[in-house]
Amino acid sequence: MRLLLGAATFIGTFALWVGLLGARPWLADARGFDGVTWELASFPGKWLYHLGAPLRDDPHGDEAVREYFALPDREVPAARSLERPVESLIEGRLDAVLQRAGFRAVLGRSVWPPVAIELTEPPRMLAVSPRDRIRLARTMPLDDLGTAEAERLEREVEAEDPDQRAIVVPLGGISTYPAIVTAGSTYAGTVQVAAHEWVHHYFAFTRLGWASLVSRESLAINETAADIAGAELARLVLDQFGDPAPSEAATAIDAQRSRADRDALLRDLRREVDTLLAEGRIDDAERHMESARQALVQRGFEVRRINQAFFAWYGTYAARGDSIDPLGVQLRQLRAASESLPDFLATAGRTTSRAAVEAALRQRGIEPGGAPR
């Protein structure tokens, strides 16, 4: 009976998520990622795997994780054979940490919504912004395409409307159900993306989640809160269960230092570009962004393109180190003032605007912070 109830819970979550994806406007575009078809193709295999677990002799979770993340190529058959055990282990560890953090289990088995991930290559994202200001005008997840195809699509979008700038960016994950999580990251990075996408699943049952379908402000709150909570959950998983790839630690520290340098440069660049655009100096702003991009490449940072759409897309994630948006500061303040992670997400889930975030802080006697320096 418990298994049947658990199955009903999982299937109910899946059905709701397919409905949400079906409402997305990009499905009308042949170039867009068809999330509904992906769901219908992927979900049965996920559920059949769980049903067949008692009949299989899967490798031990820790062993599967070590083997999987030691493989440089996650597309080879050896990696494919380990995907399901690794997904199951990460799902179980996230579920355990979520319950320990205070999220209640449904039917005594798992949190709601159930943690579910699929290790595979995520779609890319097309982001478009006006030339004269940095604003996310539209986005569209794309079926798999290479760099040359991405550049051709960017040129096509800009040729259709010369007053726009476009960029195609990679994604670490996307909140289908199960969530698509990149197969190319480290163990720690994979756990963090999985946690981030679970927060999106959680928000789907809140006002914020529904508002994110139509409001850029709500989307920024959703993404930023997911970044903050996802990073916290990933740390809890690593603290409780350890990291099967400790040799990555030194590399990660070096990467963090390099990223801090890049973030500082991008923050300064964003402020300079905002100033130039406010003065109507669009061509100067674009030349400045390209010059800065070339300087970053010379310093070892792989940056294919920087334009208005670049800042518009990544600006949605206000907790990033390169952000100048006070929303990131304010949501971190809200997390610090919250009694627990469930309290933080419940509060964030009721906010659908920046004004609502500031009001939530003031209700706690906290003056909302300003932009990071």
The string of pLDDT tens digits covering residues 225-275 is 999 999 999 999 999 999 886 655 555 555 666 788 899 999 999 999 999
Each residue of 309-319: pLDDT tens digit? 999 999 999 99
Give CA angle at 208 (99, 231), nearest 5°: 45
Q: How far is CA 55 from CA 51, 116, 150, 244, in A?
A: 9, 21, 44, 27
* pLDDT confidence bin for 11, thresholds 50/70/90: low
Residue of higher predicted confidence among 361 and 177: 361
User: Rounded to an integer, what distance in angstroms lies between the CA atom of residue 241 and that of residue 219?
Assistant: 32
Enter the pTM of the model.
Answer: 0.89
